[in-house]
Amino acid sequence: MSTKKPAAPKSALAGTDTLDRGNTNAKLESLEKFRSDATEQALRTNQGVKVSDNQNTLKVGDRGPSLLEDFIMREKITHFDHERIPERIVHARGTGAHGYFQSYENHSVLTKAGFLQDPAKQTPVFVRFSTVQGPRGSGDTVRDVRGFAVKFFTDEGNFDLVGNNMPVFFIQDAIKFPDFVHAVKPEPHNEIPTGGSAHDTFWDFVSLVPESAHMVMWAMSDRAIPKSLRSMQGFGVHTFRLINAEGKSRFVKFHWRPAAGTCSLVWDEAQKLAGKDTDYHRRDLWESIEMGDYPEWELGVQVVEEENEHTFDFDLLDPTKIIPEETVPITPLGKMVLNRNPDNFFAETEQVAFCPGHIVPGIDFSNDPLLQGRLFSYTDTQISRLGGPNFHEIPINRPVAPFHNGQRDALHRTTIDRGRASYEPNSIDGGWPKETPPAAQDGGFETHPERIDANKIRQRSESFGDHFSQARLFFHSMSKHEQEHIIAAYSFELGKVEREHIRAREVNEILANIDLELAKRVAQNLGLPAPKAGTVDVPKISLDRSPALSQANLLPGDIKTRKVAILAANGVDGAAIDAMKAALKAEGAHAKLLGPTSAPVTTADGKALPVDASMEGLPSIAFDAVFVPGGAASIKALSTDGVALHYLLEAYKHLKAIALHGEAKQLLDVLKLEVDAGLIVEKDAAKLTKPFFAAIGQHRVWDREPKAKAIPA
């Protein structure tokens, strides 16, 4: 009997050149009617209706609220919300922690929200930090926006402040959110790249949508590669309202300021961490809480009186704009402390459901068209992701306030409702549950009675038309090294773009309108002609620079929670190790002793010291600084150890503080390094600590960066 396998049936498309797109499409169309090519086709809804405006949600006037009757926006957002099951479409990669919020004082002048009125009360919170682009298995340290979502379990119901670590966004209207996310996600033909925006579809979209220019500038800055979740600012992004008991409404922007200061990784370090420790950020948060180094943030608001709404050179409703802190200072409200890790990642961090529409009396929305769309989208996506409308009954989402209404049944219902009436009004169950008039004590929620007198239109307000002045403000507010990092980021990202016309468009039509020198430098790095002028007249705004935007001005002023690696081999000076550990502990910092292997090292006086790990096991990218204690035999061993030498070179390249004690000075000659403000050499260990700690407190030795670039990665 023959064992020869029968030949596979020849495909009707066999032999087709993969680059012969026209012939391939023609054959596909004749064979498989379900395949679709949109070339030369009108944009239509899923029901075949031609779309006349895909840029603007239907609103009441150009600055009014969005309308629920907008079937085009709702179809588009609904489809988008259900594209990933069960993983989140965006913000899939996240980690969380429990804690509490405590108001500094009674803020009843601003709001009737109870959790902001009693300084003695601690309101439970759950916080989820996340990346935006990548799936659950992607790296923590990729260049990306970070989600910063806080669920307040208040006595009046849950309040979800769902924001990011950047105060603006890529688009102005929610109807464009599916377009933006489709562009930034991995390309559909090959699902590449994972966890990054260095590809054609992202840059094609943002180079065609000038309103994204400001946010892209933030994403190309160091803000997109934070050092840790503990060192990130957070922002509510949108303009909200706070309303007091008298009904007085004020516009506000929410801000989170970390007690640990705001700082970032350097690019080479972020890339290496993505490979060596994919979980770097979530591990740091977890370990900090376990060690008792509880992360802390201050919640504040920028307050704008209603009568001052139109006094700025931008529109308060535009989510691509900030209110500079120099124009409206931040009013501190209280502090948030994260002090408990979840017991189960899936049950808590993965199942937590945030919705911007979860607010309490005393907080209300503005007509920001991006926020208006989010109010619909988030609830819809949670229904899909968590299996139905009862996601509020999952323990991590369940409010501490009781909830009673006629909403029963559906998937995953856990509450067993007693009573026969699931409607209101009723007489069978005594009329319960009943409405609570807003004027009553602990009154029911009441929407701010904003007067609207306008036509139903799809239109963007002219006040949303300036797309470049705040991007320019951001770039000009950066320190010199931050500007260089932005230039390098644009050059790297656009260098991955295959189509030259997309690269050229971003340089000539976006960057040239922000800063001509920025555009020229990026063009030079890409091999493109340097633009000679911008393409639009950018209006002059009231501020040239905002120091509050630069991370160089946002350091904490101490070295609390910083991590220092101590490198040692047999024959090390044990007294120097003890002295450094004690000094670091006194400052609230942490030290780990690393040896050539995981075996204990022996001090010069014969004492065995257990090590925390090997130098390979905990590389320099896991630490903020490096200390090398003296000891002739130890230094002799380290000077011929390739791992140890690489450890120091890598720390030097990443601009970290390095302290060399006693005989460790010999390593300078081996490594051919020069002493600088962050490379301290001292015979006396006691004299090392002050300059060493000062260098750590500056986060990085930025003056070293030009020399460090010459060191191989």
Q: How many CB atoms lie within 10 A of CB 645?
A: 15
**What is d(CA 332, CA 105) in angstroms, rounded to the nearest whole number?**
10
pLDDT of residue 18: 40
State whether 508 and 649 are in the same domain.
no
How many angstroms separate the Cα of 556 from the Cα of each of 478, 553, 565, 592? 18, 9, 21, 22
Residue 199's region, left for phi above 0, alpha for psi from -120 to 50, else beta, is beta
Cα gap 317→462, rounded to integer Å: 12
Q: How far is CA 83 from CA 47, 182, 192, 384, in A?
A: 18, 10, 17, 9
Read off the tokens for 672.
Answer: 């051919």
Q: Which of 23-27, 343-347, 400-404 has the lowest mean pLDDT?
A: 23-27
Q: Are residues 491 and 577 in the same domain?
A: no
**Would you state the pLDDT for residue 1?**
40
Q: Length of the chain in residues, anyone?
A: 713
Q: Are 227 and 123 in a shared domain? A: yes
**79 flagged as catalytic:** no
In this structure, the answer to whether residues 105 and 133 fall within a common structural domain is: yes
Separation CA 415–CA 390 (nearest Å): 10
The letter for the amino acid at 596 is P
Residue where a domain terminates, one of 377, 393, 409: 393
DSSP per position, 347-370: IIIIT----TT---TTEEE---HH
> Beta 590-595 vs 563-567: how paired, if at all?
parallel
- Kindly report whether the global pTM for this prediction surpasses the value 0.95: no
In a domain, 151, yes or no: yes
Q: Is 672 left (phi over 0), alpha (psi -120 to 50) or beta?
A: left
- The average pLDDT across 616-638 equals 97
Residue 32 has pLDDT above 90, yes or no: no
The confidence band for 29, taking pLDDT boundaries of 50, 70 and 90, is low
Which pLDDT value is given to residue 26? 57
**In this structure, what are the phi and psi dihedrals at residue 312, rounded to the nearest 5 degrees?**
-100, 165
Residue 405: inside a domain = no
What pLDDT does residue 317 have? 98
- Tell me how far apart the alpha carbons of residues 340 and 349 are, in angstroms, rounded to a whole number: 13
Question: Is residue 663 over pLDDT 50?
Answer: yes
pLDDT at residue number 694: 98
CATH classification of the domain holding 482: 1.20.1370.20
Residue 320 sits in a domain whose CATH number is: 2.40.180.10
Q: Catalytic residue among 56, 158, 164, 570, which?
A: 164
Tell me the pLDDT band of 256, cut-offs 50, 70 and 90: very high
Would you give the DSSP letter of residue 186? Answer: P
Percent of the chain residues past pLDDT 70, beyond the cut: 94
Listed residues 341, 374, 393: the one ending a domain:
393
Computed over every residue of the chain, the mean pLDDT equals 92
- Please classify residue 532 by burial: count the beta carbons closer than 10 Å to its beta carbon, then call 0-12 exposed, 13-18 middle and 19+ buried: exposed
Radius of gyration of the chain (CA): 29
The 10 Å CB-count burial string (b at 16+, else e) for 51-76 is eeeeebbbbbebbbbbeeebebbbeb
Residue type, 293: D
pLDDT at 442 over 90: no
Label residue 320 left, alpha or beta by phi (over 0 means left) and psi (-120 to 50 means alpha): alpha
Between 28 and 594, the more confident residue is 594
Q: Is 164 a catalytic residue?
A: yes
pLDDT band of residue 282 (cuts 50, 70, 90) is very high
Query: Is 196 within a domain?
Result: yes
Q: 490-530: per-residue pLDDT in tens?
A: 999 999 999 999 999 999 999 999 999 999 999 999 999 99
Same domain? For 67 and 208 the reply is yes
pLDDT (0 to 100) of residue 11: 37
The pLDDT of residue 707: 92
**Residue 5 clears pLDDT 90, i.e. is over it:** no
Taking residues 175-183, report their average pLDDT: 97
Quick one: DSSP state of residue 66?
Answer: B
Asked whether the predicted pLDDT for residue 133 surpasses 80, the reply is: yes
Domain membership of residue 434 (yes or no) is: no
Q: What is the pLDDT of residue 27?
A: 57
- Tell whether 363 is covered by a domain: yes
Question: 585 with 537, same domain?
Answer: no
Of 295-299, 376-380, 594-598, the poorest mean pLDDT is in 376-380
What is the Cα 396 distance to its own chain's centre? 22
Asked whether the beta carbons of 635 and 572 are under 8 A apart, the reply is no
What is the sign of the dihedral through the CA atoms of 161, 194, 168 and 482?
Answer: positive
Would you list the DSSP string of 113-182?
-GGGT-TT-EEEEEEEEEESSS-TTS-SSSS--EEEEEEEEETTEEEEEEEESSS--S-SSGGGHHHHHH
477, β-bridge pairs = none
Within a domain: 334? yes
Q: Which of 150-154, 198-202, 432-436, 512-516 has the lowest mean pLDDT?
A: 432-436
Cα angle for residues 685, 688, 694 (degrees, 5° grid): 155
- 438-452 average pLDDT score: 83
**pLDDT tens digits, one per residue of 533-564:** 999 999 999 999 999 999 999 999 999 999 99
Q: Which residues pair with 436 in a beta bridge?
A: none
Q: Flag whether pLDDT at 4 surpasses 60.
A: no
- Does residue 671 have a pLDDT over 60? yes
- Residue 659 belongs to a domain with what CATH number? 3.40.50.880
**Does a cis peptide bond (omega within 30 degrees of 0) precede residue 167?**
no
Q: Is the domain of 283 the same as that of 343?
A: yes
**DSSP result, 438-460:** TTSTTPPP----------EE---
Instruction: Write down which residue in 553, 577, 610 finishes a domain.
Output: 553
* Whether residue 523 is found in the same domain as residue 622: no
Range of 521's domain?
A: 464-553
Upstream peptide bond of 399 is cis (omega within 30 degrees of 0)? no
The number of folded domains in the chain is 3
Name the residue among 509, 480, 552 with its Cα closest to residue 216.
509
Q: What are the tens digits of pLDDT across the range 565-579?
A: 999 999 999 999 999
pLDDT tops 60 at residue 19: no
For residue 595, give the H/E element and its range.
strand 590-595
- Please check whether residues 585 and 687 belong to one and the same domain: yes
pLDDT top residue among 30 and 560: 560
CB atoms within 10 A of CB 390: 19
Q: Of 222-236, 267-281, 438-452, 590-604, which gets the smallest average pLDDT?
A: 438-452
| Phi, psi for 338 (deg, rounded to 5) | -100, 115
Q: Are 180 and 76 in a shared domain?
A: yes
Does residue 660 form part of some domain? yes
617 and 637 both lie in a single domain: yes
* Residue 398 domain-assigned (yes or no): no
Q: Does residue 675 share a domain with residue 542? A: no
